[in-house]
Structure 1
């Protein structure tokens, strides 16, 4: 009786699962990398595009924004638009990767870790 043969088959299956996990990880990474979200202020004077990790990709300020010299209000408007754009980017990733995310996976931590723990057989 060759006990080693059964072990080899189990090892090969594990290697196959790890290879599939690696392929899926690369696919997810590539999918997420280019995801952006955009938002615009209610008055249309500030527009932002943000990547899924929060990086500011583009900020457009309409020249009319400078007609009212209120730096605090402008800063608040920019912050608000950037945060809305970030949320839009993360929502896009959640929609695209819904099959990997638990219903309660929320925020960047859920986006970053939940797919991998599920693929490895772990719960939340």
Structure 2
């Protein structure tokens, strides 16, 4: 395997790091986790105890049978984040790209999808 150098920087190492960065989830600076009672329990234990689950972390939003990982997060404008997500439904092997908006709702958040679906509000987990 060839190792190419440019200005003393190993291009091989940069090439290895690039795919990991492209696949890494981006985060929203929430300052904690948010959810309903079932969602907060899920975030603590990893166990799903109810189909009413709704959980929001800095890198994903999760419901009972679906979830979206945040892949691209734009800086907040008027308290709203525009997010490019990779979403999965239960039983799907391949995710689909979705655009969603994360906005404040009182002391919590709402997640709105481009088709008008709204998840939330979710409040800060204890």
Give the alignment's TM-score, normalised by structure 2: 0.28
Higher RCO structure, 1 or 2 (CA under 8 Å, sep 6+): 1
Which is richer in strand? Answer: 2
Give the alignment's TM-score, normalised by structure 1: 0.29
Larger Rg: 1
